[in-house]
Amino acid sequence: MKENPNVCVVGSINMDMITSIDKIPAQGETILGGTFKTNPGGKGANQAVSAARLGANVSLIGAVGDDSFGKDLLEHFESENINREGIKIIPNTSTGVATVIVSENDNRIIVSSGANAKVTPEIVSKSRERILHSDIILLQFEIAMETVRYIVELAYDHQIPVIINPAPYQEIPEDILTKTTLFTPNEGEAFVMSKIPEFEFIKNKMIITKGKHGSAFFASSGEMITIPAYPVPVKDTTGAGDTFNAALAVELASGNTLGQAITFANAAAAISVGEIGAQGGMPSKKEVDDFLMKNKN
């Protein structure tokens, strides 16, 4: 078992503008009420923060703009013990921003990519040595597919496992489907993936996150196995998937089995929904271990 694995996250960095409201306004309607918060977010950054809180040595590779959000986020990564040497500050560019509406126990998100759209293979290649020192790599689809491909190929050539969280969903090129170790779609993304011609070849690499219904994967027999979620009060589901991905990566890189890693990741995700903000409820390893002791399935 490896206690503090090296986890590399290549992905998006956003500032989240979160409005929590009882009811979503209809088109053309203005409503009063709700609360507003500005919190760090972005699928890449969320996964990095979660993995760091769970005890991994984390490097985040991506980009921010040369604005105040970028500056705040870089300081935030420092305080979360995340190595930020692979984060480029891009001049005359805004940091990624996500408009998040939290309502009726779920969220709606619009991402303005800003600097995330400028995370090129050339930028990430500057962190090549750091990437090659990873025990596992986490990717999502909020940066360019050509950059995702660059990392997948590098990792494949050096036999480093890669988890792709295919969100927001985009068509996945065949070489990425072949060379990626695991995909972690949600149910909607998994449905789209089930329609692609390569589905039969990749289904054994899929772990499907199903929110309050737990997480599922295909056994080698073809049977779908579901590992149940933990019933918990929900304040905000934003970032629960990111917490799941980070926890899965940390546990697999530490040497745990897939079943153990999914159980741990379900618990981490359950804890994460107890606070507002993608990173607000992300737990430490001790919090997850204590939660698992109290909630033996």
Contact positions vs ligand RIB (CB under 6 A): 12, 14, 16, 41-43, 46, 98, 109, 111, 142, 238-239, 241-242, 278
Give whichever of 41 and 135 is closer to ligand RIB, judged by the CB atom: 41
Residue of closest CB approach to ligand RIB: 41
Of 16, 67, 236, 242, the catalytic one is 242
In order, the DSSP letters of the chain are --SS-EEEEE---EEEEEEE-SSPPPTT------EEEEEEE-HHHHHHHHHHHTT-EEEEEEEEESSHHHHHHHHHHHHTTEE-TTEEEETT-PPEEEEEEEETTEEEEEEE-GGGGG--HHHHHTTHHHHHT-SEEEEESSS-HHHHHHHHHHHHHTT--EEEE--S--PPPHHHHHH-SEE--BHHHHHHHTTSTTHHHHGGGBEEE-GGG-EEEE-TTS-EEEEPPPP---S--TTHHHHHHHHHHHHHHTT--HHHHHHHHHHHHHHHTTSSSTTTTPPPHHHHHHHHHHT--
Give whichever of 61 and 160 is closer to ligand RIB, judged by the CB atom: 61
Give whichever of 83 and 113 is closer to ligand RIB, judged by the CB atom: 113
Smallest distance from ligand RIB to CB 201, Å: 28
72 is catalytic: no
Smallest distance from ligand RIB to CB 198, Å: 25
Smallest distance from ligand RIB to CB 80, Å: 14
Smallest distance from ligand RIB to CB 142, Å: 6
Give whichever of 127 and 184 is closer to ligand RIB, judged by the CB atom: 184
Catalytic residues: 242
